[in-house]
Chain A
Amino acid sequence: MKQLSIPDARALLLRLATDKGVQLEVYAQRSSSTNIEAFAAEVSEFKLAKRSGVGLRVLQGGAWGYSYTENLSEAALERCFNDALENASLVAPEGFAALSAHAEPPHIGDLYGEGLSGVGVERKIAVALELERAARSADHRVVSVPYAAYTDGEEEIGVANTAGLARAYKSNYVATSAMPLVSEGNQSKSTYNWQFTREFETLDPTATSLEAVSRSLALLGATLPATGTYTAVIEARTMSTLLSSFSPLFSAKMVQEGKSPLAGKLGEPIGSACVTLRDDATRLGGYQSQPFDAEGYPSAPLTLIENGVLHSFLHNSETAAKDDTHSTGHASRYGYQGIVGVSPTNLFLEPGHTSRDALLHGISTGLLLTEVHGTHAGVNVFTGEFSLQADGFWIKDGAVTHALENFTVAGNFLELLQSIEALGDDLEFTPWTGTGAPSVRVTALAVGGA
């Protein structure tokens, strides 16, 4: 079975749709990646990937029908198109579905860097080995380095439809990650660090690993905190994790489906006056920057919360039509396998002007929260509630005293937004979610411990 190229597959599908008199959107994705893991001074795993596929969305009788295929033979493409038609025939029409050509997207210059074609595999292997070596030899308390990996990848995403839209963009990334296991007495600790960039030449595996080791070592000697409610500083990375976990609250799709507790709150204060939340897919250097969204709609910056007041939800074309507004360019798709939904891109909490350490000043007893675990189960996006395993440090008289382990933090994200009393100047973005936040000080956080 001969495989068609993506442009040929797309042309065939659009022709099938035109012949049938239905509207069709084709979302095509082609990616390749290299992943090299090192363990005990050797390469332990070397992975090369090439993957491509097309996701179809037909519009017939006011209803969407989806289907996808990684088999790009003519027969498989026709089967996929017919599946999408059948699926549309079973879906309830909603009256807001439409495909259009959309305005021209902005140019985003830094998505592809210098590319990777000039980087030989030996240099990639050297990075993986250096990550592992630097972590292993950094301190006698390092037992092993269970994870040390170099990854790079390239991706091309294209959207085309029968209304005449046809656009594509390419992006790449280069990343390293290290997670040492450290031990002292009968206590073991492990946390990770990463670097994520578009330029191979900017990698610094030694620094990435040394930071992972120092973060892990800092957790040694941890004790269980006493159960109670404390003033807390939530470190930038952890605040970013919480924000990302609760980002569905801001989706107009969730609101319209009766699932977001923010329904009906537009124009109302939902956070303290120092809270401003934005999303900007055009952000220079943004991890999730993109010229257009999953239905080809051009990207633009958006303010969701300004000085505590909720200004906007995230929209795709369909949710916008339903609310009689414009799309904000947040149509998302979990690859060609997924359906079109709504997601943030580079969602971030605007930073303040205080250093992280200055946020600790004035706290007589409290908590510095440096990591939360289990967010896939411990956050409830229908209620805003969370209860999570955490790592952190005890704060006494404005300074960190010692590490804390295996405790919980619990609360409601909407109450948390209202209890933010200061924000740091240390805005940091998380590569795999695109979400960013500075460290924040909150007035009260419930802690479960001894």
Chain B
Amino acid sequence: MLEQNLVSEVLRLARGGGAEFADLFVEDCVSSRLHLLNGHVKDISGGNDFGAGIRALYGTKVVYAYTNDLSREGLLEVAQAVARANGFAGEVDASGAGGLDFRVTNPKKLYRVSQHPLETRKADKLALARRAGAAARVGAVKTVDARYFDWVQRVLIANSDGDWVEDERVYSRLMVNAIAEDGTQRSNGFNGPGAGMGMEFFTGDAPEQTGAEAARIANAMLHAGFAPAGTIPVVIGNGFGGVIFHEACGHILETTAIEKKASVFADKIGQRIAHESLSAVDDGTIPGAWGSINVDDEGMPSQRTVLIENGILKNYLSDKVGEMKTGYARTGSGRRQNYTFAPASRMRSTEILGGPETPENLIKQVKYGLYARTMGGGSVSPGTGDYNFSVNESYIIRDGEICEAVRGAALVGNGARDLMNIVGVAGDLTRGQGMCGSVSGSIPTDVGQPHILISEITVGGRS
């Protein structure tokens, strides 16, 4: 994307104020977004994100600057600004010491795209969204938004240690929102599978399944009563149910939280933080997964990081600055939305691993509680461990049986406490896809889990 000589000059200039380390992240990202409303093509957009970010480290202090101007003059101007930001007022001297001798590494590709979005006609992409939308128009569903997204991000990551990595990341996603209506009653259902793959992700009846699942939820919830309010046992469904672990634990294990001691799990490696039935990983190496990366945004190969093994905390998620501040080795977790963010330790595919139970057995153990079948997003305050996530589809469990449907509600708790309350884990691990927002922007992540039983958690219903 850029000449090595220019990059060498830029990095040298960026360190001119006395920084120990500098790196450059260059991005050229092309996206398409297609939207159909009730089968009509409503809007098509997309475009080209294009820019570079330069980071310099003075000890653990980070100076970061970015620009859209990738000309020599543009890049040198930003490098100069980085060099001066630490209070260095003199003339920055970029000449002198010789150029960097880059070690070019080609990242190991976890997955080979067979049908590239940039080589596919928009009409074919529209056809997929149209099929997904049509499949959602069943039962009482009156309004259907079907959206198709893809983006191809080409990156160059180079640093003053001489590392040079280029990679291409391909993402594809379908999203369907179905609104059901019956008189004054309304409900909606959402489904949005995505992958780190090309168009081949949508083979077979994948588009129809996407739409049908959104419609199933909307129809199931249309006449549902209010969820209960109070603290009760809850069985959480597999797949996107893993959002509970993402919020209650995942964010708190990122070194961005650990390094400021703003985490209830700081200094807890080797200690029991969860029930013994719980093991969890953050795996960035699953071929074609939405949350997978060949290399992180600091150029380090991705890895599978064991977070919790039988209830014992094993690892944090660490990036370069996180390693410098906490001493915990980098885990290939330095990620960012785009060139406008410095990298930070972030999740990839975070999963609770399968256990010995079956979903039916977990439900049988509950006398009165909630079966949370599909989930929405959530959030957490890492310093306190207080978290929340939303249930989009749920049912009352009475005497070990799934009974009537009830409307969505927030589930809230505290990570430090509730991990001890995950008392049963089934074996049916699946994953769901979402966008995770944090200090370095919004990035694609997978969450995953089998069905789990939480002995008690606060449910935010109205009855």
Partner of A39, one of B260, B377, B407: B260
User: CB of B367 within 8 A of chain A?
Assistant: no
B410 and A378 contacting across the interface, CB-CB below 8 Å: yes
Binds B, one of A59-67, A111-119, A203-211, A292-300: A59-67
State A86–B121 Cα separation when bound (angstroms).
11
Chain B residues 217-275 with CB under 8 Å of chain A are: 226-227, 229-231, 257, 260-262, 264
> 1/0 per residue B319-356: CB within 8 Å of A?
00000000000000000000010100000000000000
Partner of B389, one of A51, A146, A377, A411: A377
Question: Given A143-B261, A382-B188, A410-B462 in contact, is the A46-B388 Cβ separation under 8 Å?
Answer: no
B46 and A66 contacting across the interface, CB-CB below 8 Å: yes
B64 and A146 contacting across the interface, CB-CB below 8 Å: no
A374 and B68 contacting across the interface, CB-CB below 8 Å: no
> 1/0 per residue A429-450: CB within 8 Å of B?
0000000000000000011111
Partner of A383, one of B44, B81, B188, B410: B188
Partner of A380, one of B142, B389, B408, B413: B408
Residues of B within 8 A of A122 (CB): 87
> 1/0 per residue A46-63: CB within 8 Å of B?
111111110100000000
User: CB of A189 within 8 A of chain B?
Assistant: yes
A46 and B86 contacting across the interface, CB-CB below 8 Å: yes
Chain B residues 34-78 with CB under 8 Å of chain A are: 37, 40-51, 60-71, 74, 78
Residues of A within 8 A of B262 (CB): 144, 146, 181, 190
Question: Which bracket fits the contact residues of B?
Answer: 35 or more
Query: Which B-chain residue is minimally distant from A187 (CB atoms)?
Result: B384
* B361 CB, min distance to chain A CBs, angstroms: 27
A259 and B62 contacting across the interface, CB-CB below 8 Å: no
Residues of B within 8 A of A410 (CB): 226-227, 229, 409-410, 460-462
Question: Given A66-B43, A380-B408, A448-B229 in contact, is the A258-B143 Cβ separation under 8 Å?
Answer: yes
* B11 CB, min distance to chain A CBs, angstroms: 17
Question: Given A3-B68, A374-B377, A408-B460 in contact, is the A67-B390 Cβ separation under 8 Å?
Answer: no
* A291 CB, min distance to chain B CBs, angstroms: 25
State A219–B294 Cα separation when bound (angstroms).
44
Residues of B within 8 A of A91 (CB): 41-44
A51 and B122 contacting across the interface, CB-CB below 8 Å: no
User: CB of A155 within 8 A of chain B?
Assistant: no
Query: Which B-chain residue is minimally distant from A391 (CB atoms)?
Result: B386
Partner of A448, one of B74, B378, B379, B461: B461
Query: Which B-chain residue is minimally distant from A49 (CB atoms)?
Result: B66
Residues of B within 8 A of A228 (CB): 229
Residues of A within 8 A of B68 (CB): 3, 50-53, 70-72
Question: Given A258-B179, A261-B186 in contact, is the A339-B43 Cβ separation under 8 Å?
Answer: yes
B340 and A383 contacting across the interface, CB-CB below 8 Å: no
B377 and A376 contacting across the interface, CB-CB below 8 Å: yes
State A257–B37 Cα separation when bound (angstroms).
8
Partner of A87, one of B37, B45, B50, B410: B45
**Contacts A/B (CB < 8 Å), 23 sampled:** A3-B69, A42-B61, A66-B44, A66-B47, A70-B47, A80-B48, A121-B85, A224-B231, A258-B143, A259-B143, A373-B388, A378-B390, A380-B408, A382-B179, A382-B187, A385-B408, A387-B410, A389-B388, A406-B386, A410-B410, A448-B230, A449-B229, A449-B231
A45-B61, A337-B47, A449-B229 known; 9 new pairs, CB 8 Å cut-off, are A51-B340, A66-B43, A66-B44, A90-B126, A146-B257, A227-B229, A376-B437, A387-B390, A389-B386
